Structure 1
Amino acid sequence: MTVMESLATILPASAMAEEPKDMPDADLPGSRRPDAVVRPGATEDVAALMEWATREGVGVLPIGSGRRAHPVRGDGRFVVLRTDGLAGLETYEAADLTLSAGAGTPFGTVAAALAENAQWAPFDPPRIDQRSLGGLVANGLSGPLHMGYGELRNHVLGLTVVTGDGRTLRLGGRVVKNVAGFDLLKAVVGSRGSLAIITSVVLRAFPVPPVDRTLYVEGATVGELLKHALEVGTAPVLPASSVIVDALAAAGGRPALVVRLHGAEATVAADQRRLEEHVGLTFRVDSGVDHAGVRDHASLGDVLLAASARPSRLGAVLDALDALTPTALSVDSYGGRVRAASAVPTGEVIDSVRSRIEDVGGALRLFAPSMDGRAAELSTRPRPGEQALVEGLRSAFDPGGVLWPARF
């Protein structure tokens, strides 16, 4: 019996999405074809699939929007699980600032629903308009707006997930609660599908700020602007976001530090004055800055690199990345993160860059579909103590080791 035939005995016909041979190459760059593609429409179907996968020893690769699909290595059998069948708003309590939706719901759908009540979800990772809600949570992506609003993981109030062996867990809820012991909810956020399949998300919303003021200052280089960005992070006011891009259209394509201030008009005006006094600069105010362009900067290229380190070490990280001659750079100094795009480098160059970043206590992760699975091997690996914790979590959530075969 083939994998497709076996799945047909446990899943409804509506969940059998398409023939593997018909799956677009763009959805699995550099990969071999899966043995089956399924599109479950309910958590119960996902649970049945995962129980079957563990029993049969078949890998499962979840795909939402496909933005983070990785090549699948090895020769084991695997199934692609499309989460777009788990789409749609479930509940929205505008007065309570909470919304729940299926994991496959496009983030744009969530944003549109919130906007009808002058609310929003203040997360701005690259290409968020192309992501699913579950994919956003699975990758733990926040963007520079975390400076003023906190990380995404702090605003995911609840999740429904299915573990690797088919158990359905409902983590958290619709209100903020104190947690005693290990917080499983926060462990799943950012686990990139390696612990469980997310089927539903409860999210905290925020009122849209009355004023969203954009300030920027130009510089000759990203490195020159880094000093000012670090000073912004120590100012007596807390901006909504602060990010350096190596080319800002509003600045004539030159490097710029872009800062956003949110709040009432009087508060924002006072915050700008105090910020300029602290940094010793006069910012330009420009309501025409393309926030989507700043958000998405350095998110397209043959190789995308995400480096992280303490903010005080970001200068050394930028020096190391220079060896790649990046085509685009974005620096979130408050979060200690650098995003870069480049052409495909040699493994030796990546090894050297990664080693220099790790020498200052940082880490480097690559996303490069064209590198045929080598990106994970060239990225920073967990330290021994961290690896033991990761393996312990995975063995508890996925004892059969069937989730996300791209990782193994």
Structure 2
Amino acid sequence: PVDAEIASAIIEKENLVPWVDYGEQLRTFEKANGGGDCYGLSDPEQTRLIEDAYYQAIRDSGLVVGIDGTSDCQPPSFAYTAMHGVGLPYAKRSFSTFGLPPFLPVPSQQHPDANFTTVPFPNPEEKGALDEAMAFAKEHGCDIVLANDPDADRLGVAEFNKVDGKWTVFTGDQIGSLLGHWLWETIGKNSEQPVAMCASTVSSKIISAMGQTEGFLFEETLTGFKWIGSRALSLQNEGYRVLLGYEEAIGFSCGGIIPDKDGISALGVIATMAHAFYAKGKTLTSHLQEIYLLYGEFCSDNGYFRCDDPAIVKKIMEQMRNGGKYFDRVGTYEVDSVRDLGSPGYDSQAADKKPTLPTSSSSPMITFRFKNGCVAQFRASGTEPKFKYYIELRGQPGENREEVSKRLDTMVKVILEELLHPSENGLITPSSL
């Protein structure tokens, strides 16, 4: 929303070289802004005040609900990895703020290490990124792994199944589902304010289904927390209590504390939730199945093709537009509506045929909504040579998840072949997001 202003600030003369005395620069900025808009970050005392205010905001938000210490069931135990980043002291204080027993830090990954020695790519989303933490957790009898990325603004979660001895590594959408339902049950349903939640358009539609059933507002945004956070602030100004903003790339904002992704407060919420479920003899995994029973099975397949030629991406987008006569069928699957966020924009579902989300000729996205409940979305990465797809199928409440997943697998093959023509366009084999 403010990209142009950010770019302008970057190219200003005084910002083209490092500040020699950044502390003095910050103090000058403070003075110019009345002393209240920017803390003197060179001052440890001011840093402490920021941290104190943050954890107090968590306490004031309603997120801290306490844990049941009377249950005969074994409480969950946690292993935590900072993934060679800065999260450990903040995660410890988060647990303390939420009134939770301490976790076990993964020793080999608990301190900042610019070489990220024990993990090839320090992103909890990446396959294998949690292997070290899960091995440590299993060795020490921990039920759940909590993982922050190096700057601790994102959160990964994995849970050990003692029956089959396997780990469940939750997707961002699954964590978002757990958070959304928990925040509604513990805060939202008794809120005097109208409640809202929001998510990026490529995230699961389960929070939308939850909102339709429970009666809270759900809004989707473009990808990225600059859009999610901006919309959350607007909703707050309209009088809504915004309980959750999330994106499928494991970014979560809980309780309206800050309008940005925050792995530290989300970590405390997940751990509190786990204590509540384990006290009832449940797990995060089993509770997720209960959520699907309430709102429907949501199965997704997110991935990408590598494409080094931007002209090919443009060609694929134009093929999907079909000269403005968007396809009403893909293979044997009937299309219900199409949304195109390329400029000037189009949405066949809207009365005026205009999309509610912002449009862009430089970063277009095309969405096909199918009559069987499937949603397929396509966009090019803005930073990597990737053509991304996000395909989700909603089953009915109580429907067998494996059956929904099989239907989705069949649809994905047809959709990717019919709309992207991978061989013809020289796309390199898809990989999971």
TM-score bin, normalised by smaller chain: under 0.3
User: TM (normalized to structure 1)?
Assistant: 0.28
* RCO higher in structure (CA 8 A, sep ≥6): 1
TM-score (ref. length: structure 2): 0.27
